[in-house]
Structure 1
Amino acid sequence: MYQLLIVDDQPDLVEDLATNMDWESIGISSVYQAHSANEALDTMKATQIDIVITDIRMPGISGLDLIDAIKTSWNHVKCILLSGYNDFEYAQRALRQQASAFLLKPVEDEELMQAVKKAIEDLEQHWLEVSSLHNAISSLKANLPILRSHLLTTLLHKQLPQEQLQKWLHMVELPLDWDAPCYMMLLRMEDYFYKQSEEDSSLLEYAICNIAEEIFSENYQLWHVKDSYGYYAFLIFASSDGDYRLHAEAIEQKAAHLQHYVKLYLKGTISLVLSQQLTFPQQLTSEYERLLHSFRQRIGSERDFLLTMQAEPEVEADGADCLTQLYTPPLLNHLLEIGQWEAVDDKLEAIFIELEQKRGDSHEHIVEAYYAIASALSYAVHKNKLRMTDSLGAEFNQLLTGPNFHTIMQLRSWLDGVIHAYKQSITARTQHSRTGIIQKVQDYAAQHLADASLQTIADHVFLNASYLSKVYKLETGEGISEYVTRLRLETAAHLLRTTSEKIYEISVKVGYNKTSYFIKVFKDRYGVTPQEFRDQ
């Protein structure tokens, strides 16, 4: 359903058009009213308007100038012009501004309905073309590198169902088969590269990846992404252009060439860890973790190394492992920071499922989970400019004493209370913040009654007009424009009762430069004219 705005300095005409025509029958769900161009622009900023019907001749900003302003900020809004003047120049300018229709007053209801219906059809056709398959494919092709990187990042951390993965591979134009053989190479940029500026470092990273493509592309197909640790993960597949097969010795030689040319031409060192042959995609996650482990345990802080992994991983006796869900994106600290409560619940559930299924009541892993979650919570609280003592209340005492838990159930019980306390604290602060905004809005309107509008108020409180309008309506049940109008008329009534100021002076003082319009809106509210109100 579409939203319509009717603009005219004659309130009776606007009211008549808004209420006495069956707009819903042609797909209009809401009809908004404005009695000046400025009021219309305020409405546009606060509401998603699709079609505007405006008179040409209005005091201040004309309807033609209003269309200029609309086309500058809302290019896809359809505009219909009404004019009581059969003036060819108006029609010419309306056509130049791509007005949807130019109608002469008095306009017949059916003629206006047809004009709005035609505007709706034009909107539907426009957005159908925008969302067409051709445009979608063009946009997809333009963003293929980004989409491929996102997909590989996902595969490094979890395995996707075969059908879903094959759809994604087809979409990003990677002709890779399920169970295809491949190698993984992890690349770490070292000292020289980290001393560069951010801009130069990005160019060097781009250059390294280009060198890798140049070295491998003759016989192999590369797919790479930069991971969250700053390493580059490369998948190496046999080229689809020929019969060349994967050979460990040849791949290792090309990796050595990559190291050599980076050092020769870019003046920096890189270290590489190269896997044995893998099966795509089933072994990606485990092999990625193994290569990361090799950087930490085998290469460490040494520089300019090339390590080829053994075919069989070395398993340490009684070796422990971390809880992967704690460190797999999306991270808990980010979810807590932005208040994604459902996602927080899902993340915690995944952590506890891993604890219960893989670790049982392992006290070591309960401690690991406790400290990781407590750290995430501390980060989120402080990132939101709060204190843990205020946000967590009595639950903060547990953080001071440490993880005195022996079972997963004890950890879960404590965590439920902590998350609930933090959520309540964030909710209360949001409510307090909104209350402060409402107070600022009302104070400004009272002190600047003559020129108060949605936009001037939004500028004063440093908020987007659309957001401010929604928050004010949510908290008070009344729109800002409605509030300002009510405040103006109540102030005018007070001045009529308590002063001897002339009616036109009161009209200007409360923000109505056109006295006839002030008299009209005053009578609509109080049932009498300002003079009759004063006489009573």
Structure 2
Amino acid sequence: MYQLLIVDDQPDLVEDLATMLPWESIGIGAVFQAGSGTEALDVMKETPIDIVISDIRMPGLSGLDLIETIRATWSHVKCILLSGYNDFEYAQRALKSQASDYLLKPVEDEELLQAVRSAIAALESRWLEVSSHQGAIATLKDNLPIVRSHLLAALLKGRRYYGAEWEKKLGMLHLALPAESPMSMMLLRMEDYFASQNETDSSLFQYAICNIAEEIFADGFKLWNMMDDYGYCVFLILPSDGCSRLEMTVIEQKMSHLQHYVKLYLKGTISLAASKQVRFPDDIAVIYEQLLGSFRQRIGGERDFFYTLAEENGSSEASSLSQLYQPPLLHHLLEAGQWEATETKLEAIFAELEQKWGDSHEHILETYYSVVSSLSYSIHKNKLWMADIMGAEFNQLLGGPHFHTIRQLKEWTAEVVGSYRGNVAGRAQDSRSGIIKKVQEYASSRLDTASLQSIAENVYLNPSYLSKVYKLETGEGISDYLSRLKMEKAAHMLRSSQEKIYEIAAMVGYQKTSYFIKVFKERYGVTPQEFRDS
């Protein structure tokens, strides 16, 4: 549904247009109101507006000035101008400002609705073009190396794709790589002369080195590369002819040639570490971690060096728990309040712990400290205290873990995460209840001037968000609530006071008595005078 903003210095006219026309029937989900061009710009800074209907002649910022400002800042917004003057200069300037329509007052309801329909059709046409499949494919082709790099980065961090989704993703990136394809991974470190360059020159050298690598490996292999977070160039080396095995001797020869030609033509040194043959894509994250460790331990500070990872790592060697560090990370899920995804993540973590490291107290500690770190990050990010969330458990936390089994850690984690979830849910409910109370207190005390914008400013919230929260909690929109409150107060005053009808109209926020009478009759079926007489 689209969002509409009506701007006019006559509040009764704005109120009439906003409430009396069947906007929802033509696709308008929310109607906002402004009494001046300046107020309209304030609304647009806070709320995504799709269509603006504005009077031309207003004090201060005129309608024409307003749409020129809108065009400069929000080029996608459609603007419809209303004018009481059939002046060619106005129309000419409106056309220059690319107004969607130019209507003369008094405008018929159907004429205005049709103008908005036309604006919606133009918006839909534009956004369909922007988001079209063909346009997306063209953009993807233009940015193919970048998108491939992002996908490889996700795979290095343990992201997994399955079935048709994976095949479709590879097809879009023009990577014809069936599951279980043989591959080798190579890490490349730029050294000495390269490392002393500024960021721009370093990027150029990286590009040149990757081009040299592509040229050297072109005979029999395909390369897929990116720069990782540690400054290594990561290459996947894949067979170009669909072979089921890689000739590792050939790969090692090409690695040696790559070092030679980089030194010869670019005057700098590189070190390389490569894996033996593994499976694509299942082994990418595991072999990447092994290569990082190997680079640190085997090559270290050596220059112009290359190393090939052994087929087997010793079975007694320790390793970290991959599920703890694979995206989505636990602290991101907790911070975002994605509780079901958090439960799934914890199940995967404990499943790996039980299957691989059931007898390792060190890995139980690694999991415990990771969970505590994620919880403390999320709790503090939400401006809360761990002691308030955890209660008595916090004292145990200060004394360090007392877990000897995975089951004990699992139960403790479930209890603490459950307490945090309950606390966040309670605070959210209390916060919403407080907002509703503030809205109602403000509206009842300033009924003659209250509007969605003024209420939102009073409670320091975006009008669109406030409107959604209020309707979610009460089942009634703020505009409907204000209208009902005004009519109920008017009815009470008609029954219990001797105030004149035009005075009552002003007291509940209607400057034009005729409009007040019209709205009152629509609600109660009789005029205010007939209501008083009865």
TM-score bracket for this pair, using the shorter chain length: 0.7 to 0.9
Counterpart position of 1:23: 23
Aligned 8 A contact 2:12 2:512 in 1:
no
The TM-score normalised by the length of structure 2 is 0.75
Alpha-carbon distance, 1:170 to partner: 0.8
CA-CA distance at 1:417 after TM superposition: 3.6
Q: CA deviation at 1:381?
A: 5.3
Given that 1:361 and 1:406 are in contact with CA atoms closer than 8 Å, whether structure 2 keeps it comes out as: no
CA contact (8 A) 1:181 1:278 kept: yes
Which residue of structure 1 lines up, in the alignment, with residue 41 of structure 2?
A: 41
SS at match of 2:186: strand
Q: How many angstroms does 1:203 deviate by?
A: 4.5
How far the C-alpha of 1:355 sits from its partner, in A, is: 1.9
Residues 172-187 of structure 1 mapped to structure 2, 5 A cutoff: 172-187=173-188
**2:81 aligned residue:** 81
Deviations 1:55-103 (A, max 9, x none): 2122222211121122222222222222111111111111111212111
Determine the C-alpha separation between the residues in 2 that align with 1:209 and 1:106: 68
Contact kept in structure 1, 2:188 and 2:270, CA below 8 Å: yes
Instruction: Tell me which residue corresponds to 2:211.
Output: 210
CA contact (8 A) 2:47 2:462 kept: no
SS at match of 1:59: coil
Whole-angstrom distance in 1 between the partners of 2:458 and 2:256: 62
- Higher mean displacement: 341-350 or 166-175: 341-350
Distance 1:181 1:412, change over 3 A: closer
- Whole-Å separation in 2 of the counterparts to 1:437 and 1:214: 64
1:167 aligns with 2:168: yes
Structure 1 match to 2:148:
148
Q: Return the offset for 1:405.
A: 1.0
- TM-superposed CA distance for 1:427, in Å, is 7.3
> Given the superposition, is the C-alpha separation of residues 412 and 177 from structure 1 closer, same or farther in structure 2, using an over 3 Å criterion?
closer
Mapped partners of 1:199, 1:458: distance in 2: 47
**Cα separation, 1, equivalents of 2:434 and 2:303:** 56
Q: How does 1:12-411 map to 2 (within 5 A)?
A: 12-156=12-156, 157=158, 159-190=160-191, 198=199, 201-217=202-218, 219-239=220-240, 247-264=247-264, 268-310=268-310, 312-316=311-315, 318-337=316-335, 339-360=337-358, 362-380=360-378, 388-389=386-387, 392-411=390-409
Aligned-pair identity in percent equals 63
| Greater mean deviation of Cα atoms: 259-268 or 65-74 | 259-268
Maintained 8 Å contact 2:37/2:63: yes
Deviation at 1:286, TM superposition (A): 4.2
Return the alpha-carbon distance in structure 1 between the equivalents of residues 460 and 281 of structure 2. 50
Task: Find the aligned partners of 1:121 and 1:201 in 2 and give their Cα distance.
Answer: 49
Computed over aligned residues only, the root mean square deviation of the Cα atoms, in angstroms, reads: 4.8
Q: How far has the Cα of 1:148 moved from its partner? A: 1.0
3-state SS, counterpart of residue 409 of structure 1: helix
Measure, in 1, the Cα distance between the counterparts of 2:293 and 2:102: 71
Give the direction of change, closer, same or farther, for the CA distance of 1:46–1:285 in structure 2 (3 Å limit): closer
Q: Secondary structure at the match of 1:212?
A: helix
Cα deviation for residue 423 of structure 1 reads 5.3
Q: Would you say how many aligned residue pairs link Structure 1 and Structure 2?
A: 495
Q: 1:431 to 1:17 in 2, by over 3 A?
A: closer
Work out the CA distance in 2 between the residues paired with 1:424 and 1:209.
52
Do the aligned residues in 2 keep the contact of 1:179 with 1:282 (CA within 8 Å)? yes
1:437 CA displacement: 11
**Taking structure 1 as reference, are residues 521 and 358 closer, same or farther at Cα in structure 2, changes over 3 Å only?**
farther
Paired residues of 1:14 and 1:33 also in contact (CA < 8 A): yes
Distance (whole Å) between structure 2 residues aligned to residue 125 and residue 517 of structure 1: 40
Give the Cα separation in 2 of the matches to 1:465 and 1:112: 25
Distance 1:522 1:20 in 2: 13
Check 1:134–1:378 CA distance in 2 against 1; reply closer, same or farther (3 A cut).
same
Deviation readout 1:384-435 (Å, 9 max, x if unpaired): 6766556644323223322211222211222234334555777789899999
**Alignment partner, residue 496 of structure 1:** none
| Stretch of structure 1 that moved more, 456-465 or 151-160 | 456-465
Q: Which of 63-72 and 203-212 deviates more?
A: 203-212
Aligned to 1:533: none
Structure 1: stretches of 5+ with no match in the other structure = 442-451, 487-515, 526-536
Paired with 2:380 and 2:304, the residues of 1 have a C-alpha distance of: 40
SS at match of 2:30: strand
Could you tell me whether the CA contact under 8 Å between 2:189 and 2:231 is conserved in 1? yes
1:201-251 per-position Cα deviation (integer Å, ceiling 9, x unaligned): 5444444333323433355321012334443321123446x99x9543332
Deviates most, 377-386 or 115-124: 377-386
Kindly provide the amino acid, as one letter, of the partner of residue 182 in structure 2: P
Contact preservation (8 Å) 2:47, 2:463: no
CA distance in 2: counterparts of 1:277 and 1:30, whole angstroms: 59
Contact in 2 for aligned 1:226/1:232 (Cα 8 Å): yes
Give the 3 Å change call, closer, same or farther, for CA 268–36 of structure 1 in structure 2.
Answer: same
Change (3 A) 1:210 1:380: farther
The unaligned stretches of length 5 or more in structure 2 are 440-449, 486-509, 520-534
Once the two structures are TM-superposed, the CA of residue 465 in structure 1 deviates from its matched residue by: 8.3
Q: CA deviation at 1:306?
A: 1.1
- CA distance in structure 2 between the partners assigned to 1:145 and 1:209 by the alignment: 12
C-alpha contact (below 8 Å) 1:46/1:470 kept by paired residues: no
Q: Tell me by how many angstroms 1:186 deviates.
A: 2.1
Equivalent position of 2:411 in the other structure: 413
Q: Deviations over 1:267-303 (max 9, x none)?
A: 5543222223344334434433443343344334544
Q: Tell me what 1:531 maps to.
A: none
Q: 328-337 vs 64-73, which deviates more? A: 328-337
* Whole-angstrom distance in 2 between the partners of 1:3 and 1:159: 39
Change (3 A) 1:466 1:120: closer
Q: Residue 321 and residue 277 in structure 1: after superposition, are their counterparts in 2 closer, same or farther (change >3 A)?
A: closer
CA gap 1:466/1:71 in 2 versus in 1, 3 angstroms: farther
Secondary structure of 1:222's counterpart equals strand
- Determine if contact 2:331/2:374 at 8 Å carries over to the other structure: yes
Q: Deviations over 1:482-530 (max 9, x none)?
A: 99xx9xxxxxxxxxxxxxxxxxxxxxxxxxxxxx9799999999xxxxx
Q: Residues of 2 paired with 1:193 and 1:384: CA distance?
A: 43
Cα distance, 1:461–1:143 mapped onto 2, change above 3 Å? farther
CA distance in 1 between partners of 2:221 and 2:39 (Å): 63
Q: Which residue of 1 aligns with 2:496?
A: none
**Contact kept? 1:224, 1:234, Cα under 8 Å:** yes
Aligned counterparts of 2:391 and 2:518: Cα–Cα separation in 1? 53
Q: Distance in 2 between matches of 1:15 and 1:386?
A: 43
